[in-house]
Structure 1
Amino acid sequence: MTLAFEEVRLTLPHIELAAHLYGPADGEPVIALHGWLDNANSFARLAPRLEGVRIVALDFAGHGHSAHRPVGAGYALWDYVHDVLQVAEQFGWQRFSLLGHSMGAIVSVMLAGALPERVTRLALIDGLIPYTGEADTAPQKLAEALTAQMALAGKRKPVYAAFERAVEARMRGVGAVSREAAELLAQRGLMPVAGGYTWRTDNRLTLPSPLRLTQAHAMAFVRRLACPVQLVLAEQGMLAAQPSLAALLADTPIDVRRVPGGHHLHLDDEAGAQRVADCFKPFLLAP
């Protein structure tokens, strides 16, 4: 596995983000967006296989080596959308493609739906729209979020006595991953503390959302997509398990490729990364 990349820090007007740069400077511009609680190493296996593409693999705010948002700020999906747009501005990219996994795929769809003139192509891995909620659930969801926010000061991150213990915990986490994938995510996601290691991620990332888009809101972004879209659907992933998947994809021009593997199929092993690359390389480089 080749891990050749350039580590950079991007000073945006409102926050500093970390990223890995892959590929030639004159390659097809792509911003790669990882999933919730992951980091830029999510693309460590896939990015080197996408020759000819210039990939900026971000650590989202609050993840990996990127800064945390200021006190009082939150981590709404539309805030990530703004971050990504600012990254594109920093690179001088008026048009660019997005490569997104899970939450990163959701952020990609929202940006491409909001500003279709900016996005050339969407390459999505096992993600499409966020968890939704209808109007009658809004008061209860806000109550849950407020209660969790008030309790946050007393919440402590787990501390693992050894790196290996953290890897094992990540293997069992949301979107279970292989040991090698967990090691890659942990290498970038852990920091040393008294007693061992803990995660760099902002504790606020685990707070429940105070407001969810309705199904109609979420699908409005999908229906406004104007660029080619390819979705790699993991056959044993999280998206395939949703009973509403067929309805979500009905009447959309999304090119769906069903690929063996779990939710992190692009990272779990070399074979999975190659299968995803075989889908995305010709797609991202298409004239």
Structure 2
Amino acid sequence: MTARFEEVRLNLPHVEVAAHLYGPEDGRPVIALHGWLDNAATFSRLAPRLDGLRILALDLPGHGHSGHRPVGASYALWDYAYDVLQTAEQFGWSRFSLLGHSMGAIVSVMLAGALPERIERMVLIDGVVPYTGEAEQAPEKLGAALEAQLRVQSKRKPVYATPDQAVAARMKGVGAVSREAAERLAERGLMPVPGGYTWRTDTRLTLPSPLRLTQAHALAFARRVACPTLLVLAEQGLMVQPERQAMLAGLPYDIRRLPGGHHLHLDDEQGARAVAEIAQPFLTDRGALQDSVENRLDEAAATGERGRTR
């Protein structure tokens, strides 16, 4: 399916971001968030299939055509949540839905857990919570991250003689993708440099995290989500480990499993169609779960009030 979109740039107070804007102006607002080292093109098959929605597919800062964070800044998940809020403010969206893949799904859960009153509905593709770390691991993890930051200026991104070489490398990367998917990501993600082509992504995105949420922290965000949430799991994706599956137990999400890999929504038309068939009615139906949503918003608000009085 041919992607029909408007290329937009937004001057947020702290960084400039780029995005693809799909759908009618009066469509229900959706902000779409891609995965780590990907870009807005990850939704180029899926977004055109979702009718009646105003979908803003962001290049998150440090990715695609968006700006990089200033020297000394980092790319924490909660910083991305703030980017999304500032983007919504630019459009005047007090409430909106989220469509997130992988890291974008994780950011979506964190934002929806932190500010449940802002999020109307949520579709997550093969991602829920980040990889976690417990307290006793924190000092060693921070030390390794600080040392990596000291060396970042000497770290060089790979240069490929041709775009096809970059595509071949992306096919084998984390969350391996089909050739056509890699070509779509490369078309937006590559830039010419002396000697060939390299990725636009900020080198700092590959640094180790200085701090990870504990499992208790991560699940607290996931459990405080108050909006109707659809979780699409890829049968050959990155959520197949038993410990990741066990973590989903008890979460009040509508879980659907579909054939395909981690990028099932982008790898081929069949995968994009399958995701669209369940995401479309979910994102456009207001009535079915409204009562339960209002109840859960009340519960989330009560939890917040209790937390503020302690």
TM-score of the two chains, using structure 1 as the length reference: 0.99
The one-letter amino acid of 2:242's match is P
Match of 1:244 in 2: 243
Kept in 1: contact 2:239–2:245 (CA 8 A): no
Q: Distance in 2 between matches of 1:15 and 1:195?
A: 29
Q: Deviations over 1:67-113 (max 9, x none)?
A: 00001100000000000000011100000000000000000000000
Contact 2:34-2:60 at 8 Å conserved across structures: yes
Whether 1:228 aligns to 2:220 is no
Q: What amino acid is the match of 1:282?
A: P
Aligned residues: 286
Residue 132 (structure 2) aligns with: 132
Counterpart position of 1:286: 285
Residue 271 (structure 1) aligns with: 270
3-state DSSP of counterpart to 1:235? strand
Larger Rg: 1 or 2?
2
1:256 corresponds to? 255
Find the residue that maps to 2:238 and give its secondary structure. coil
Shift of 1:122: 0.8
CA contact (8 A) 2:98 2:121 kept: yes
Instruction: Judge which range, 251-260 or 97-106, deviates more.
Output: 251-260
Q: Which runs of 5+ in 1 are unaligned?
A: none
**Cα offset, 1:154, TM superposition:** 1.0
List structure 1 runs of 4+ shifted beyond 6 angstroms.
none
C-alpha displacement of 1:147 = 1.2
Q: Check whether the contact 2:234–2:259 (CA below 8 A) recurs between aligned residues.
A: yes
Q: Secondary structure at the match of 1:110?
A: helix
Corresponding position of 2:299: none
Task: Name which of structure 1's ranges 27-36 and 146-155 shifts more when overlaid on structure 2.
Answer: 146-155
1:85 aligns with 2:85: yes
Q: Matched residues in 1 for 2:235 and 2:245: separation?
A: 14
Take 1:71 and 1:137, find their aligned partners in 2: how far apart are those partners?
A: 27
1:1-287 aligned at under 5 Å gives the runs 1-240=1-240, 242-287=241-286
Q: How many angstroms does 1:247 deviate by?
A: 2.5
- Residue 45 of structure 1 aligns to a residue whose secondary structure is coil
**In 2, Cα distance between the equivalents of 1:98 and 1:166?**
30
Give, in whole Å, the separation in 2 of the partners of 1:202 and 1:247.
34
Q: Is the 8 A contact 2:223 2:252 kept in 1?
A: no
Superimposed CA distance per residue, residues 205-241 of structure 1 (whole angstroms, 9 cap, x where no aligned partner)? 000000000000000001101100100000000012x
For the residue of structure 1 that corresponds to 2:213, the secondary structure is coil
Q: Structure 2 length normalisation: TM-score? A: 0.92
Q: Distance in 2 between matches of 1:106 and 1:179?
A: 26
**Aligned-partner Cα distance in 2 for 1:257–1:3:** 25
Give 1:95's aligned amino acid.
R
Q: How far apart, CA to CA, are the structure 2 residues paired with 1:18 and 1:92?
A: 17
Structure 1: how far apart are the matches of 2:250 and 2:4?
A: 40
Q: Which amino acid aligns with 1:71?
A: V
Give secondary structure in 2 for the equivalent of 1:244.
Answer: helix
The alignment partner of 2:151 has SS state of helix
Q: Distance in 1 between matches of 2:221 and 2:160?
A: 40
Supply the distance in 2 between the matched residues of 1:215 and 1:169 (Cα, whole angstroms): 33
Q: C-alpha displacement at 1:245, in angstroms?
A: 2.8
Higher helix share: 2
TM-superposed CA distance for 1:253, in Å, is: 1.2
CA distance in 1, matches of 2:190, 2:42: 14
User: Unpaired segments of 5 or more residues in structure 2?
Assistant: 287-310
Partner Cα distance (1:83, 1:178) in 2: 29
Secondary structure of the structure 2 residue equivalent to 1:19: strand
CA–CA distance in 2 between the matches of 1:269 and 1:124? 18
* Distance across 2 between alignment mates of 1:98 and 1:77: 15
Partner secondary structure for residue 117 of structure 1: helix
- The CA RMSD measured in Å over matched residues stands at 0.6
What secondary structure, in the 3-state scheme, does the structure 1 residue paired with 2:4 have? Answer: coil
CA distance in 1, matches of 2:243, 2:116: 25
- 1:151 Cα deviation from its structure 2 partner: 1.0
